[in-house]
Amino acid sequence: MTDRPAPATEVVPGRQDVPRQDFIRQIVREDLASGKHAAIRTRFPPEPNGYLHIGHAKAICLDFGIAAEFGGRCNLRFDDTNPAKEDPEYVAAIQEDVRWLGFDWASLRHASDYFEVFYLGAEKLIRQGDAFVCDLSAEEVREYRGTLTEPGRNSPYRERSIEENLDLFRRMRAGEFADGSRTLRAKIDMASGNIAMRDPAIYRIKKVPHQNTGDAWPIYPMYDYAHSLSDAIEGITHSLCTLEFEDRRPLYDWCVDKVDLAGHPELLQPLLDRGFPLEAAKPRQIEFSRLNFNYLVMSKRKLLALVEDGLVDGWDDPRMPTLQGIRRRGYTPSALRLMVDRVGVSKQNSLLDIGVLEGALRDDLDARAPRRMAVLDPLKVVLANLAEGHEESLVFPNHPKDESQGTREIPFSRELWIEREDFAEVPPKGFKRLVPGGDVRLRGAGIIRCDEVVKDADGNVVELRCTLDPESRPGMEGANRKVKGTIHWVSARHAVAAEIRLYDRLFTVPDPDVDEGGKSYRDYLNPESRRVVTGYVEPAAATAEPEQSFQFERNGYFVADRRDHRGDAPVFNRSVTLRDTWARKP
Ligand code: ATP
Ligand code: MG
């Protein structure tokens, strides 16, 4: 990576040479053009307290994407200031997810790398008269805080002397006081119209071991303080975050300005000692709208509950909106990046239709996924006019619009599987596929006529005896004879039995997140969200690599399961149907 400011070269998908034009990129362009920054730096700052979800994909694409587009750099920084809720399992998964989306970090950081600097910054605030140790309990702090319409009241501890504050803060750091008994608070303005500015806590006592720093710290910095200073330490130029932080921007700026790391490099000495490069600068926070989709829940708390209560099969259940889940479902990094581009960047929060997400996957896979034939609900067809041992190979293009994908051979023989729903003994009006005495085209093989319907003792159709029209074979004169329908098929002798997991939306209602009338998202689980069937796939599908995506003709887009799929025991997950079948539901 270089620090060279480069012009944006990425283009809006489908529109040649049109640079992305959102307000954040506009700010970045202006800052580079005016020389305010020679190069930009961004960061993606997840808290390692859960798995990343589709919403995070937007933040990742913006943080990493904008840095890459403008020749800047992006750090991955774990915001690990709340050790009680954090776990190395999440740290590993988050790194894997960011890489999977196609990004890499200039530097991997942790807020905990900076604990020493935060501490020195806090002592500086105390010496400046900008922070004080407060003995109010959490409940008292709430009482003193005031409301949106009423100002707060000053803490009785607000006027402690600098010496007393320094002494108490050092003893907090030494572990002398009980959890929750004291806090260090910024001294700002209890009458501020912005509640975030009413003497917010910047340190609390919490004797919980930390995954990086062990027992070294009995006190931990609060989010706003740690986050703003982390940005400053790393020389972040554009600190992108979601809209709920807009009210906290004044506090962010207050922390950056009052501690003033850029003007006091001595505070960074602990980092220099540990070999971190010095790059402190004044960052600018810019907020954008969160990504939200209907038919999903994305709060970490609810996702955790779904997993813990066994309502889904773990964090990577293909119905989960976690990146691990949708990856297993068959979502591709390029589909997610396409979705983020289409959604755009604004300051308007909204609930997007899940069709936008599914549509991006369809468009991505339509352009790239090889085609295969698979029968999910098999009905036997016997071509009675072919010899018992008849066997041939038919050549099919892998992709109808992409010749570079080449061809494959599909075995064809006397006994085939077709889709049960492609036959109707008593056809409904407008039915265009196989009926007794009728014709249908077998994709790429010829036209068959159904001569006889064989049933079992219970009257179920078990087999169709058909005639293959020899004049309709590929290359023959009658190959283009008009028939109403074309259906897919596989050769019964050659096809491979596969476990097919038919996934659908996890919730039946567009807003499962709205708790109303005593109901919660749990009451809206879709009982049909996972159906497992045994189907038959052509041999070229069975040999897929795990995570390879296909269009199973007429059936949808499927992916070889990344955990369970094997060539001799194939497992495919339905990623998305070919069309939006929900739009038409009443
Ligand atoms: P929580 O508040 O439940 O801990 P979070 O979603 O805020 O979860 P973080 O780990 O703090 O999780 O998020 C990391 C980054 O991702 C933040 O910059 C946050 O603004 C951004 N982000 C989180 N959710 C979304 C979303 N739905 N859309 C866009 N960006 C998001
Ligand atoms: Mg958060």
* CB distance 328 to 312 below 8 Å: no
**Beta bridge partners of residue 569, listed in sequence order:** 566
How high is the pLDDT of residue 138?
96
Q: Which atom of ligand 1 is nearest to the CA of 58?
A: 29
pLDDT computed for residue 584 by the predictor: 60
The SS3 assignment for 37 reads: coil
| pLDDT confidence bin for 123, thresholds 50/70/90 | very high
pLDDT level of residue 91 (50, 70, 90 thresholds): very high
Q: Are residues 351 and 421 in the same domain?
A: no
* Confidence bin at 440 (pLDDT 50/70/90): very high
Which residue did the predictor score with more confidence, 108 or 520? 108
Catalytic one of 29, 300, 449, 465:
300
Answer yes or no: do 568 and 507 share one domain.
yes
Alpha-carbon dihedral sign for residues 85, 90, 94, 95:
positive
Asked if residue 506 belongs to a domain, the reply is: yes
DSSP state of 194: S
Residue 462 counted as domain residue: yes
Share of the chain above pLDDT 70, in %: 96
Is residue 198 a part of any domain in this protein?
no
Asked if residue 402 belongs to a domain, the reply is: yes
pLDDT for position 520: 84
Check pocket membership of 58 for ligand 1, CB cut-off 6 A.
yes
Do 582 and 511 fall into the same domain? yes
Question: What was the pLDDT predicted at 17?
Answer: 54
Q: Is 346 domain-assigned?
A: yes
pLDDT digits (tens, 9 = 90+) for 441-456: 999 999 999 999 999 9
Q: Does residue 421 carry a catalytic annotation?
A: no
Would 473 be classed as within a structural domain? Answer: yes
Residue 544 and residue 478 in one domain: no
* Interval 472-530: pLDDT, tens: 999 999 999 999 999 999 999 999 999 999 999 999 999 888 777 778 888 899 999 99
Q: What is the pLDDT of residue 18?
A: 63
> In terms of domains, do 478 and 582 share one?
no
Q: Please tell me the predicted confidence (pLDDT) of residue 86.
A: 84
Are residue 554 and residue 481 in the same domain, yes or no?
no
Residue 6, pLDDT score: 37
Residue-wise pLDDT tens digits, 253-283: 999 999 999 999 999 999 999 998 878 889 9
Amino acid, res. 254: W
Half-sphere exposure of residue 92, counting CA atoms within 13 Å on the CB side? Answer: 4
Q: What is the CATH number of the domain that holds 337?
A: 2.40.240.10
pLDDT of residue 585: 57
| 429 given a catalytic annotation | no
CB 64 within 8 Å of CB 83: no
Nearest ligand 1 atom to alpha carbon 60: 16
Structural domain that includes position 307: 290-368+496-586
Strands laid side by side in the 530-537 sheet: 371-372, 549-552, 556-560, 571-576, 496-503, 530-537, 374-375
The rounded Å distance from CA 290 to ligand 1 centre is: 8
Alpha-carbon span 337 to 434, nearest angstrom: 41
The confidence score (pLDDT) of residue 580 equals: 81
Is 56 near ligand 1, meaning CB less than 6 Å away? yes
- Whether pLDDT at 93 is above 90: yes
**483 and 418 both lie in a single domain:** yes
305 token code pair: 């509950």
Same domain, 414 and 459: yes
Distances (CA, A) of 306 to 322, 323, 517: 12, 15, 21
Q: Is the C-beta atom of 297 inside 6 A of ligand 1?
A: no
pLDDT of 3 reads 38
Question: Alpha-carbon distance 54 to 338, whole Å?
Answer: 13
**Minimum-distance ligand 1 atom for the alpha carbon of 301:** 3
By residue count, the chain amounts to 586
Q: Quick one: average pLDDT of 542-563? A: 97
In a domain, 348, yes or no: yes
Q: Within this chain, do residues 466 and 504 fall inside the same structural domain, yes or no? A: no
* Cα distances (Å, whole numbers) of residue 273 to 78, 108, 116, 270, 276: 21, 18, 11, 5, 8
- Which of 494, 529, 545 is the last residue in one of the domains? 494
CA torsion 163-168-171-177 (nearest 10°) is: 170
Same domain, 501 and 575: yes
Q: Above 50 in pLDDT, residue 388?
A: yes
Residue 380 located in a structural domain: yes
Question: In the predicted model, is pLDDT for residue 8 greater than 60?
Answer: no
pLDDT tops 70 at residue 11: no
CA of 59 to the centre of ligand 1 (A): 8
Query: Rounded to an integer, what distance in angstroms lies between the CA atom of residue 531 and that of residue 404?
Result: 35
- Amino acid code (one letter) for 399: H
pLDDT for residue 163 is more than 60: yes
**Please, which residues have CB within 8 angstroms of residue 454's CB and are 6 or more apart in sequence?**
461, 462, 463, 464, 465
Stretch 222-250: mean pLDDT, rounded?
97
Question: What would you report as the CA-atom Rg of the chain, rounded to the nearest whole angstrom?
Answer: 31
Whether residues 420 and 446 share a domain: the answer is yes
Q: What is the mean pLDDT of residues 562-585?
A: 89
| Residue 113: C-alpha distances to residues 80, 217, 491 (Å) | 9, 12, 61
For position 229, what pLDDT does the model report? 98
Q: Are strands 407-413 and 219-221 parallel, antiparallel or unpaired?
A: unpaired
Ligand 1 nearest-atom number relative to CA 49: 4
Overall average pLDDT of the 14-18 stretch: 50
**pTM score > 0.85 for this model?**
yes
| Structural domain ending residue among the three candidates 475, 494, 513 | 494
Helix, strand and coil in the chain, % to nearest 5: 30, 25, 45
- Pick from 452, 472, 494: which residue ends a domain? 494
Verify whether residue 329 is a known catalytic residue. no
Contact present, 217 and 210 (Cβ < 8 Å): yes
Q: What is the pLDDT of residue 350?
A: 85
Set 29, 170, 290, 368: catalytic member = 290
Q: Tell me which residue of 197, 219, 17 sits closest to 118, measured CA to CA.
A: 219
45 CB under 6 A from ligand 1?
Answer: yes
Task: Return the structure tokens found at 43.
Answer: 């960061």
Asked whether residue 375 falls in the same domain as residue 490, the answer is: yes
Pocket test for ligand 1, best of 22, 47, 81 (most atoms within 8 A of CB): 47
What is the number of structural domains in the chain?
Answer: 2
Half-sphere exposure of 548 (CA within 13 A, CB side): 17
